[in-house]
């Protein structure tokens, strides 16, 4: 149980680090709750339907799913969600790299 908790925390930290490593935001993303993402998006001038916000929201929901489900009831789902989370993190990194390069070319 503790291992799962620490694993979720590490995934959250990784997502925050990936986003906050970009120098183009007016403020740092402080959490992965829907409200934190929404507030950050508004402050950063991002639309709710932007790829970055959609990706972060998807990651947030999957982490929430892992946090609230009984371990015994979701063994198969848990493995699928963890695999999807890894893919979502890679997608977020790719989106941010693309976003960063488009920001650089506009300057």
pLDDT at 106: 46
Instruction: Give the start-to-end residue ranges of the domains of the chain.
Output: 2-106
Q: Could you give the count of Cα atoms lying within 13 Å of 17 in the half-sphere of its Cβ?
A: 7
Angle at 7 between CA 100 and CA 93, to 5 degrees: 15
Q: What is the pTM of this model?
A: 0.80
Is the alpha carbon torsion for 9, 14, 19, 23 positive or negative?
A: positive
Report d(CA 5, CA 67) in Å as an integer: 7
Structure confidence at residue 103 (pLDDT): 63
Write a three-state SS string for the chain: CHHHHHHHHHHHHHHHHHHHCCCCCCCCCCCCCHHHHHHHHHHHCCCCCCHHHHHHHHHHHHHHHHHHCCCCCCHHHHHHHHHHHHHHHHHHHHHHHHHHHHHHHHC
Per-residue pLDDT of the chain (107 residues; tens, 9 = 90+): 566 788 889 999 999 999 999 988 999 999 999 999 999 999 999 999 999 999 999 999 999 887 876 555 656 677 788 889 999 999 999 999 988 777 655 44
């Amino acid at each position: 149980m503790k291992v799962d908790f620490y694993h979720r925390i590490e995934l959250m930290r990784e997502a925050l680090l990936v986003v906050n490593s970009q120098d183009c935001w007016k403020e740092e993303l402080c959490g992965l709750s829907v409200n934190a993402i929404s507030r950050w998006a508004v402050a950063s001038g991002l639309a709710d339907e932007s790829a970055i916000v959609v990706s972060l929201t998807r990651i947030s929901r999957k982490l929430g799913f892992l946090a609230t489900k009984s371990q015994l009831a979701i063994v198969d789902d848990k493995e699928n969600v963890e695999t999807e989370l890894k893919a979502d993190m890679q997608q977020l990194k790719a989106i941010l790299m693309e976003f960063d390069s488009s920001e650089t070319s506009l300057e």
